[in-house]
Every structure is written in structure tokens, then in C-alpha cells.
Structure 1
Amino acid sequence: MNTPAKRIFSLKIAKQTAEAFLQEEGITSLPVDPFAIAESRDIVVEGKPEKTDGVSGMLLRHGNNFGIIYATHIPSMGFQRFSVSHELGHYFLPGHIDQVLQGGVHLSRAGFVTADPYELEADHFAAGLLMPSAPFRKAIDAYDPGLEAIEAVANLCVTSRTATAIRFAELTDAAVAVIMSTGGIIDYCFMSEAMRSLPKLDYLRKGTPLPTGTATARLASDTVRVRSGDRIADEVDIRDWLGGFTKTAVSEESVGLGGYGKVLTILVSPTVGRDDELDEDGEEDKLIESWTPRFRR
């Protein structure tokens, strides 16, 4: 996903704001409980079936009292916890309450499915809250990169495979790409820094078809298999997916996500390295740190 530098900066701040909150609260282990965090701030949380298409939850305000309602029609504890954490993002992130609660009620669409900057910031706050970098890195280091590792860490964090895969791509040292698709059409693609180091890549664009002939395309073409949660694995040339000039084998693992009708694909290269000098710039880290709020009750 190509994102303007200013947006990338704001999303990093959102994640670091969540991690700063955890540090202030002395929360250092996984899983993180967003319901307990809401309770600690006297925020009432209630599950309620929500029929509005795409709505994952709501943040409500009445005077100085706040409440969170999260949709329960999606039977995934990981998704529900992410939805509550997303609303906590709107509560904690500077400027969000004034912006999104002008009418007293805000409907959210969590899960990296919108380009709205406030929704994206809340999504990244939720990722940082539920999957803080230090314990998350420690957890993923216990596994070889791939779908099995993502599922194991998702179980540890009590997060969805989708959210865990995105965070995995962000924090792993391995060359990894995470692709979500619906009906054979790409929703988004996240790549680790090591994978992005390959020259002349053709970035996968939202709304474009899956590459023809890939195992993922075969799985996606069979809605019965997708809805039954079938899996498929293959070894392919990275150029089949991302183009470029580098011929290298990658593992391709895909799984149908049941009633969502989506397919999650993980590409992993065991050979593509990472240049440590391309790591995050120290000055940028200092600037982010200076903008990260400190929480005091």
C-alpha cells in the first residue's frame, strides 16, 4: 500500500500512543484486555447486534460519560476486541473526540477497510494496543514466518488472523507480504520492509484481480472452499505476484475466511535479506516520541 509520508507518520504516532498508554499502565504481557481498559476509564461497553453494513462499533458520549457498543453479528472474539480497541483509539487519540463525536454518536468501520484518516488512526491505535511491538516481536520470533506463526500469535493475542498478519508484516525481519482479497479482487496488500527491498516491484493495487494461475486465484474462484475455510499452499516465483527483476522462490499460503467470503494470503521468502541500514531513521523515532501523549489519570 502506498501511503503519503504525512499519513504514515500519523499512523506511527497512533500506534506509539497506544504503546505509551500500556507503558503508563504497567501492562507488559499478552493478551491485552481492551474491556478492562475501558472499565478503568468508566467507559460502559456493551455488545449489540449491528445490522448496518460495514459498521463494527459505536462510540457514544452523553455529557462527560462515554460508552462503546460493538457489533456481535460477526462471531469472532478477535474482531470484537479489535472493534472495542478501535473505539478506545477515538477516545484516547488527540483531536478524535472533537472530530468524530460532534453529534454525540460515532459509527466506526474498523479493520483497515476505509481511507478515512480518523478511522485509520483508530485502527493503528488498536493494533498497537492489542499487539504492542516488544512482546509481539518476542512471540513471532518463536516461529518460522508464515501462516502457522500468524495463527499461533493470533491465539496468543486473541486477535483476528487478519489484524495479526498485518502487524506481523510490519514487525518481522523476514520478507513477507500479506494480501487480502474478496471474490478474486485484491482488497489490500501489506509488505514487510525486507520484501519491499526487492527492486522494481509492481505494488498490488486495491480493486485489481489476483494474479492468474496462482494457488490463491484457484482457491478464490471456489466460493464453497472459501466459505468452508479451506487452505492451499504452493511455491512460486515472487515475480508471479509482485513483478520486478529478482527471481526468487516464495511460499504462498492462503486460507478462506469462512462467511466473510475473503481469502488471506501470506507470501514468505526465506532468501530475501534485509539491510539493517534501512531500519527506521533515528531522528524520525525521536520526533514520534516527542509527539506521543503521556497518560495521567
Structure 2
Amino acid sequence: MGRPFQLMLARRTAEAFLRKEAITTLPVDPFAIAESRDILVQPKPDTEPGVSGMLLRHGNSFGIIYATHIQSLGFQRFSVSHELGHFFLEGHIDQILKDGLHASRAGFVTADPYELEADHFAAGLLMPETPFRAAMDNAEHSLAGIEALADQCLTSLTATAIRYAGLTRKAAAVIVSTGDTIDYCFMSDAMKTLPKLAWLRKGTKLPAGTATARLAGDPAKIRVGARVTDETDVRDWLGGTIRQGVSEESIGLGSYGKVLTVLSSKAIGREDDDYDEEEDEDTLVERWTPRFR
């Protein structure tokens, strides 16, 4: 199975668990889920930098420690959900808990396949597709709409933006950057319809002269969560051959030291009301979804 399928399967495994437990509304409580499996969850203020949480095992007992150095309830809930991903996803415990302790780096910041699968499990657990799509129907196609979804799901702005890009039928791109360098970019299917895109990969420089680049050059503004909004040509960011205006909205992520940028357009691409492909995907997932621990 390819990597995209594995990540999709991780999200769907979380959603299947919620259906099994009859959890159908937002927000989803990962602490209650851990308690239902007798997993002790505790905060750890002095977790080493870069570590979001830990999964521990002693005999047949499990525990989760989550970092609090980033003062964000959404990030902490995602970190706990990430560790639950390691607990529930097939093969993870045998692979990562050989020494009884595993330190995680949640938040789509590593290419490690087990960490990425746990990240996508967390996204599916906290933002399951059916209720999240229903919430999206009442949200603006903008950074403000994503913020409203984050408030409803009690999730971090970054994780919510990534989930939004993965599910919206409108054109959107979510970019996270540190300094003048892009960490990663997620694009909606509608945005991907642009011909001859220049894919934004890790390490790519921010486009010079953009509002995001100006914000990224002022660490003080990033720390206080300043935001900027501009209209720009999509080619300035994603290249391609079509000139099209897009909304560029960026916000500083505080002590995280990063900038989140949302590019959005209602003119690029088109909505797709054909669900046959999604139903085929559900069939594949049902075939491959493991039993729950």
C-alpha cells in the first residue's frame, strides 16, 4: 500500500473507532477516550524541546504524557490524540514501544511514517469527516472560517487548517513557515487543478514581497499573533500558467515561532458532487481497517 493510502487509512481508522463508540458530535474528547481504555494521561511541563508527548507501557498498562511548553489547548489535545494513534493503529506498539517509552513529535513536522500516521489518526479523531463537513457548510471560506472550526473542534488553528484543506471542495492552500522558509504546504483538490503548479516543498523560500514574507520577517509580531491580509496572484505562490487572484491571509503562531498562511479562492476549480470515488474508498478502508485494541 502507498503512503497516501496508509495516511487515509489512519484517519478512517479513527473515524471507525468513533462510530463504534457512538461518538457523533464535536468536540471529541481524547482525554475521555484514553480514560475509557484505562490509559493514564498526565501533563509534563519540562518535556524536551520538540517533543509533543510520550506513550509509555509497563506490562499491560499504558500511559500518555503530553507537553505543556506550548500554551495551546488545541495542540495539547492533538498531542494526546497522536499518542492514541500509536495505541490504536496496527503495528505501532510493537514497532515504537520496544523499550517501553516512545517520544513523539506531533503536528506534521516529521517525515517518519509512524509519526505521520499518528498525526492523521489524530486529525480523523478530533475532526471526523462527517460532522466536520457539516460544520464547514456553515463556515466562511477564509482564515476566519477556519478559526471558527478550530473553536468548535477545540483543535489548533494549524491542524484545523490542514484538515480543512483536505476536505473542502473549494480552492485552498495552507502553508506553515519558519522565518523565510516553508515547512510544509497542503492544497485542496480544487487548488491542485491549476496547471503546471510549482509544488511548495520543505525548505522552499517564501515568495519575496508577499504579505507573509513581511510578517515572517518580524518575530515580535509573530509572538503576539499579528495577522495580515492581501490579494495576490496565485502564480506568486504556486507558479503555474493561469493568472488568478487569491486571498492571502497570514497569522503569527505566537510562542510556536511560525506563520500560518491560507490562500483561498472561489474561482479556481469547481465543486464535485460525485461521491462514487468516496464510496469506493470506503470499501477499501473497510477491507483493511484492523480490529481495535
Q: Does the alignment reach a TM-score above 0.5?
A: yes
Match of 1:12 in 2: 8
Residue 209 of structure 1 deviates from its aligned partner by 0.9
Is 1:95–2:66 an aligned residue pair? no
Whether the 8 Å contact between 1:24 and 1:295 is mirrored in structure 2 is no
Match of 2:223 in 1: 227
Alpha-carbon distance in 1 for matches of 2:231, 2:275 = 28
Residue 293 of structure 1 deviates from its aligned partner by 2.7
Whether the 8 Å contact between 2:139 and 2:149 is mirrored in structure 1 is no
Alpha-carbon distance in 2 for matches of 1:234, 1:159 = 26
- Please give the residue correspondences for 1:188-203 in structure 2 after superposition, counting only pairs within 5 Å: 188-203=184-199
Is 1:148–2:144 an aligned residue pair? yes
Is 1:286–2:274 an aligned residue pair? no
Residue 295 of structure 1 deviates from its aligned partner by 3.6
Residue 288 of structure 1 deviates from its aligned partner by 1.9
**What SS does structure 2 have at the residue aligned with 1:68?**
strand
Whether the 8 Å contact between 1:232 and 1:253 is mirrored in structure 2 is yes
**What SS does structure 2 have at the residue aligned with 1:142?**
coil
Alpha-carbon distance in 1 for matches of 2:68, 2:226 = 24
Residue 251 of structure 1 deviates from its aligned partner by 0.3
Distance verdict in 2 for CA 1:17–1:278, change over 3 Å: closer
Alpha-carbon distance in 2 for matches of 1:178, 1:147 = 10
Alpha-carbon distance in 1 for matches of 2:280, 2:24 = 26
Alpha-carbon distance in 2 for matches of 1:27, 1:63 = 29
Match of 2:250 in 1: 254
**What SS does structure 2 have at the residue aligned with 1:23?**
helix
**What SS does structure 2 have at the residue aligned with 1:60?**
strand
Q: Identity of paired residues, percent?
A: 68
Alpha-carbon distance in 1 for matches of 2:32, 2:237 = 42
Is 1:139–2:129 an aligned residue pair? no
Whether the 8 Å contact between 1:19 and 1:129 is mirrored in structure 2 is yes
Match of 1:243 in 2: 239
- Please give the residue correspondences for 1:96-111 in structure 2 after superposition, counting only pairs within 5 Å: 96-111=92-107
Whether the 8 Å contact between 1:193 and 1:274 is mirrored in structure 2 is no
Amino acid at match of 1:59: L
Distance verdict in 2 for CA 1:269–1:82, change over 3 Å: same
TM-score (norm 2): 0.96
Match of 2:52 in 1: 56
Amino acid at match of 2:143: L
- Per-residue CA distance 1:167-208 (angstroms, 9 max, x = gap): 000011110000000011100000000000111100111111
Gaps of 5+ in 2: none
- Please give the residue correspondences for 1:120-139 in structure 2 after superposition, counting only pairs within 5 Å: 120-139=116-135
Alpha-carbon distance in 1 for matches of 2:136, 2:261 = 18
Residue 140 of structure 1 deviates from its aligned partner by 1.2
Residue 224 of structure 1 deviates from its aligned partner by 1.2
Please say which of residues 88-97 and 270-279 is displaced more in the overlay: 270-279
Residue 294 of structure 1 deviates from its aligned partner by 4.2
Match of 2:176 in 1: 180
Whether the 8 Å contact between 1:253 and 1:267 is mirrored in structure 2 is yes
Whether the 8 Å contact between 2:53 and 2:104 is mirrored in structure 1 is yes
Alpha-carbon distance in 1 for matches of 2:282, 2:198 = 29
Amino acid at match of 1:272: I
- Please give the residue correspondences for 1:23-62 in structure 2 after superposition, counting only pairs within 5 Å: 23-62=19-58
Amino acid at match of 2:158: T
Alpha-carbon distance in 2 for matches of 1:30, 1:170 = 18
- Please give the residue correspondences for 1:212-223 in structure 2 after superposition, counting only pairs within 5 Å: 212-223=208-219
Alpha-carbon distance in 1 for matches of 2:131, 2:47 = 36
Whether the 8 Å contact between 1:233 and 1:251 is mirrored in structure 2 is yes
How many residues matched?
292
Match of 2:67 in 1: 71
Please say which of residues 28-37 and 255-264 is displaced more in the overlay: 255-264
Whether the 8 Å contact between 2:45 and 2:68 is mirrored in structure 1 is yes
Alpha-carbon distance in 1 for matches of 2:127, 2:73 = 15
RMSD: 1.5
TM-score (norm 1): 0.95
